Structure 1
Amino acid sequence: MCVVAVPNDRIAEKVIYLLIYHPLLIMFGWSYMRTIFQPTGQVPRKFYLTKQDSDRLEREADEEVQRSILINFAKDLPIQNRTTIGLPRYCEKCKCIKPDRCHHCSVCGYCVLKMDHHCPWVNSCVSFTSYKFFVLFLGYALIYCLYVAATTLKYFIQFWTGGSDKGMGKFHILFLFFVAIMFGISLISLFGYHLYLTFHNRSTLESFRAPVFQTGADKDGFSLGTYSNFMEVFGDNKLKWFLPVFTSKGDGVFFPTKTAPALSYQTMGNTPSFGDGVTYPTRTIDLDSDGLLGDRQRWMEEGDTAGEGPSAVSNSSVQLVSYLED
């Protein structure tokens, strides 16, 4: 009987590969599943107008009365974001005042707390409740791809240099190596971008459209410093930072800011501006409408399903909105 001896170093190599591979696979799959199945954060009931108030708002033709209804309803709510004229952000579809960093998703069909974007990879919104899982998913996916590429590199080189048989099975190595490299390259930029957003305490939507405060639009309004920003997403327990368990700080409704909360809903036409990074940041271009219910804001967030989008918006803006929602 012929017995083929397997070198001990090859056995040790395979054992090491397997011991590293399976934990990576488990963490990758775990974070991906949590991102998919984590319930999306939705607006608490106290932000929804009563049927009486919503019916009155829809029937009312006087814009000043509409303003008064919204301001009176929102005066006790913990909100700092608003439209560019200082009014509470109102969603006509959900009939609610939007909490800070909340946006309406046209795919999900409701307002989502701290909405980052609607992700086709997970078929759900990446939001306050799932953002940590999404970042971990990107990170573990990147490490997984790099590991697969690194462990197949030697066999890939042997295939091209003639150091091994060129049977059909070797094409599996080629396919695996190229797929791992291609996905790894795309994940490097995506994971790096979301690390940047995490360290600056921004969402994808806020990076394109700065949130508006009493002092004006400020893309860094929620930034508390790099470490504090990271802690807000990943929590205080360092042992759980890299585990797909929910440890994010807060309730998804109220977020601390670098400046004191505004005390009233005054218009912003006379707000002083002294440049970025100071108490009164420079007012930048914002896509929210100066109209009462924010027609342009609703169109940008919800999509122009009825063909009623503003004619002045360029094709590049339409492509940008499509990217943010998809």
Structure 2
Amino acid sequence: MEEELSSSSNSRSGARKKKIVVVNGVELKLKYCRTCKIFRPPRSCHCVVCDNCVEKFDHHCPWIGQCIALRNYRFYLTFIISALSFFFYVLYFSCWRIHQKVVKNGSNLFGLVRICPETLALVLFTVAAIMFLTGLAIFHLYLISTNQTAYENFRQRFVGSKSPYDKGVCGNIKEVLFVGMPPSKVDFRAEATSRSWHPTAAATHEV
């Protein structure tokens, strides 16, 4: 539960407003983003690659070219599980083909390198991919069970103190995987205004 506690401003000094919200009894200070000109919601971060603030930012994934965050985290987990299942499938049939070659030709390991080098290379690649994806899946299962994002874990945001977002293992799993998806804060069907595309509008952004 989030509640705005206080806000203040100093127009003479030009200081930005400061806001503090209370999340489950813990006070959190909201950071002001000078690029997006907004107070970042709790757990948000400005992605330097996408150049916008992202709600419940987990990380920017270079493999799919976008941020993993609140509204697509479940799809990212599905992607990891699907990829892991695919590589297990490939590994199984690659090993089956190698077994067939061994039975048919009576080859040893060095003979297999000559007979089916592409299959051996595929097995090595698949094993490496499975090891990487398994570690990634285990890491995200840990994050889900503790209701953390990868960004919060790397920055060690709540080391030595209880996270205000931790609701217990069952509560965390329910919130991350089964709570209804919130709507986007950007209406992509809204009518564009002159300010949204005018080149001088971008020049007003602070650097």
2:119 to 170, 173, 182: 173
Partner of 2:138: 192
Contact 1:197–1:204 (CA under 8 A) maintained in structure 2? yes
Q: Give the Cα–Cα distance (whole angstroms) in 1 for the partners of residues 161 and 155 of structure 2.
A: 9
User: In 1, are the aligned partners of 2:57 and 2:68 still within 8 Å (CA)?
Assistant: yes
Other structure's SS at 1:70 match: strand
Query: For the Cα contact (< 8 Å) 2:58–2:150, is it kept in 1?
Result: yes
Residue by residue, what CA displacement relative to the aligned partner does 1:88-145 show, whole Å, maximum 9, x if unpaired? Answer: 3211121111101000111111110001011101111001011111111111111211
Q: Check 1:226–1:133 CA distance in 2 against 1; reply closer, same or farther (3 A cut).
A: same
Give the CA RMSD over aligned residues.
3.5
Please, which runs of 5 or more residues in structure 1 have no aligned partner?
1-55, 237-246, 254-305, 307-326
SS in 2 for 1:144: helix
Q: Is 1:117 matched with 2:59? A: yes
Write out aligned runs for 1:80-229 (5 A). 80=22, 87-159=29-101, 162-163=105-106, 170-211=116-157, 218=161, 220-229=163-172
Report the Cα distance in structure 2 between the residues aligned to 1:60 and 1:154, rounded to whole angstroms: 75
Task: Give runs of ≥4 in structure 1 deviating > 6 Å.
Answer: 164-169
Work out whether residues 56 and 70 of structure 2, in 8 Å CA contact, stay in contact via their aligned partners in 1. yes
Q: 1:149 to 1:87 in 2, by over 3 A?
A: closer
Q: Alpha carbons of 1:209 and 1:141: their partners in 2 closer, same or farther (altered >3 Å)?
A: same
* Aligned partner letter, 1:186: F
- TM-score scaled by structure 1? 0.45
Secondary structure of the structure 1 residue equivalent to 2:81: helix
Give CA deviations for 1:241-285 in whole Å, capped at 9, x if unaligned.
xxxxxx54x5699xxxxxxxxxxxxxxxxxxxxxxxxxxxxxxxx
Letter in 2 for 1:227: C
- Paired with 1:173 and 1:124, the residues of 2 have a C-alpha distance of 33
1:210-242 CA distances to partner (integer Å, 9 max, x unpaired)?
447xxx974632111112211212216xxxxxx
Structure 2: distance between partners of 1:151 and 1:86: 52
Distance 1:95 1:160, change over 3 A: same
Question: In structure 2, what is the equivalent of residue 70 of structure 1?
Answer: 17
1: distance between equivalents of 2:114 and 2:62?
35
TM-score, structure 2 length as denominator?
A: 0.68
Q: Which has the higher strand share?
A: 2
- Where do residues 302-321 of structure 1 align in structure 2 (5 Å cutoff)? none
